[in-house]
């Protein structure tokens, strides 16, 4: 937070009061190459950020502002992050001056097929003329395209864990049969606003499935996998709610065309993620406890005959949202990919 500001890019956060915004702020405040110049939150306009995100109390003098009526005045901005509810970036982002890059953490620009978007999000897409400018920001799979992108559609949290778990085997064409993904999320995935499903007295002792067969991350998983390789058969994707604040855990059940040992399979993953600093291959099982508050994705692979289980764990708000957004920003602006992201988790 010191140093010569002239060498810093200027960043705005649209939607700074949610958990995605909160984590963007935590990370970007420590980024040596970024100056945050605008943080919007209409309902908190005028309040200090530290009075809303009390973890940041005393650490910044930034205040929330209303979203500007006229975005054309934001010409000196380098990058805009959108951490708004689904459907809002759709109407705001097209108003950005053409020189401003953007990273959208919502689902608004993840789906290339407008009708699929409408089906899963129950929103009509009103800015599909911009869709071609968007790169899907699953960093480890798309580094080159991301580095030259104007706009990034930052992946969903479930999609991130699932895709990092599946990509090496899909790429290799090693699979036959159906892919089953049993995914679980912590309660912060439901956002910062209180709701019945995150009411503490019930949630603390709950585990349940939701949106069976219809979760909106399914189409982005399929669309991205199709760019990696062929899915031999069907992909079943199921989401559940965990009684923790943070974390995604994806258990993926696959079938190999030819049997491989667990060690050989782990080697496949190790090669695939060579140079990917945020993917860690672990023994036994990943645990959301060890990735919470970090940008890491921990993965373990096990086989039994031709059956394979791949387990992946991330923090939904970091690698599954704000952290990956900053990772993408780093690539877009030529910074070291890991800048401001190598913070460790805690034990406990």
Q: 179 to 218, contacts with a second copy by CB under 8 A? A: 180, 182, 184, 186-188, 192-196, 198-210, 212-213
> Does 274 engage in binding with a second copy (CB under 8 A)?
no
> Does 219 engage in binding with a second copy (CB under 8 A)?
no
Q: Are strands 179-185 and 235-241 parallel, antiparallel or unpaired?
A: parallel
- Specify the DSSP element, H or E, that contains 19: helix 19-28
CB-based contacts of 130, cutoff 8 Å, min separation 6: 93, 94, 109, 151
Q: How many residues does the chain have?
A: 348
Footprint on residues 85-114 left by a second copy (CB under 8 A): none
> Does 226 engage in binding with a second copy (CB under 8 A)?
no
> Does 22 engage in binding with a second copy (CB under 8 A)?
yes
> Does 140 engage in binding with a second copy (CB under 8 A)?
no
Where residue 18 falls (left for φ over 0; alpha for ψ -120 to 50; beta otherwise) is: beta
- Give the residue, chosen from 110, 215, 246, 319, that forms a contact with a second copy under the rule CB under 8 A: 246
Nearest approach, Cβ of residue 311 and a second copy (Å): 5
Footprint on residues 23-82 left by a second copy (CB under 8 A): 23, 26, 29-30, 53-59
| Only segment of 64-72, 143-151, 267-275, 277-285 that touches a second copy (CB under 8 A) | 277-285
Is 252 part of the annotated catalytic residue set? no
Footprint on residues 287-306 left by a second copy (CB under 8 A): 287-290, 292-294, 296, 298, 300, 302, 304
Contact 106, 88 (CB under 8 A): yes
Q: Which residue, 142 or 198, is less far from a second copy as judged by CB?
A: 198
Q: 239 forms bridges with which residues in the sheet?
A: 183, 210
Q: Of 30, 157, 176, 224, which residue is the catalytic one?
A: 157
> Does 285 engage in binding with a second copy (CB under 8 A)?
yes
> Does 286 engage in binding with a second copy (CB under 8 A)?
yes
Q: Which residue, 131 or 198, is less far from a second copy as judged by CB?
A: 198
> Does 334 engage in binding with a second copy (CB under 8 A)?
no
| Only segment of 76-84, 114-122, 177-185, 220-228 that touches a second copy (CB under 8 A) | 177-185
| Only segment of 16-24, 63-71, 100-108, 121-129 that touches a second copy (CB under 8 A) | 16-24
| Letter string b/e over residues 147-181, b meaning 16 or more CB atoms within 10 A of that residue's CB | bebebbbbbbbbbbbbbbbbbbbbbbebbeeebbb
Contact 149, 332 (CB under 8 A): yes
CA dihedral 158, 345, 348, 290 (to 10 degrees): 40
Q: At what angle do helices 217-228 and 157-172 cross, to 10 degrees?
A: 30
Contact 78, 103 (CB under 8 A): no
Cis? peptide before 348, omega within 30° of 0: yes
State the catalytic residues.
157
């Amino acid at each position: 937070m010191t140093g010569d500001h002239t060498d810093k890019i200027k960043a705005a956060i649209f939607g700074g009061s949610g958990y995605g915004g909160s984590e963007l702020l935590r990370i970007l405040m420590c980024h040596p190459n970024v100056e945050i110049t605008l943080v919007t939150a209409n309902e908190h306009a005028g309040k200090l950020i530290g009075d809303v995100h009390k973890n940041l109390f005393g650490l910044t003098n930034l205040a929330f502002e209303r979203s500007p009526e006229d975005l054309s005045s934001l010409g000196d901005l380098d990058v805009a992050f959108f951490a708004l509810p689904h459907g809002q970036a759709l109407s705001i982002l097209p108003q950005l001056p053409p020189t401003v890059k953007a990273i959208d953490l919502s689902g608004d620009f993840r789906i290339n097929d407008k009708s699929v978007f409408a089906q899963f999000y129950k929103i009509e897409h009103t800015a599909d003329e911009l869709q071609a400018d968007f790169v899907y920001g699953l960093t480890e799979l798309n580094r080159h395209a991301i580095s030259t992108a104007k706009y990034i559609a930052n992946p969903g949290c479930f999609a991130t864990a699932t895709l990092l778990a599946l990509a090496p085997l899909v790429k290799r064409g090693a699979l036959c049969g159906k892919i089953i993904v049993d995914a679980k999320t912590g309660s912060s995935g439901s956002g910062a606003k209180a709701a019945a499903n995150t009411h503490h007295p019930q949630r603390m002792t709950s585990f349940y499935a939701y949106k069976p067969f219809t979760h909106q991350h399914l189409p982005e998983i399929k669309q991205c996998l199709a760019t990696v390789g062929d899915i031999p058969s069907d992909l079943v994707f199921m989401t559940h709610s965990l009684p923790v604040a943070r974390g995604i855990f994806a258990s993926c059940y696959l079938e190999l065309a030819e049997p491989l040992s667990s060690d050989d399979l782990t080697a496949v993953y190790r090669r695939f993620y060579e140079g990917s600093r945020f993917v860690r291959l672990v023994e036994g099982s990943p645990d959301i406890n060890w990735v919470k508050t970090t940008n890491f994705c921990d993965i373990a692979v096990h086989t039994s005959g031709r059956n394979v289980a791949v387990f992946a764990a991330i923090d939904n708000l970091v690698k599954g949202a704000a952290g990956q957004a900053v990772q993408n920003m780093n690539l877009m602006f030529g910074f070291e990919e890991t800048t401001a992201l190598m913070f460790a988790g805690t034990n406990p």
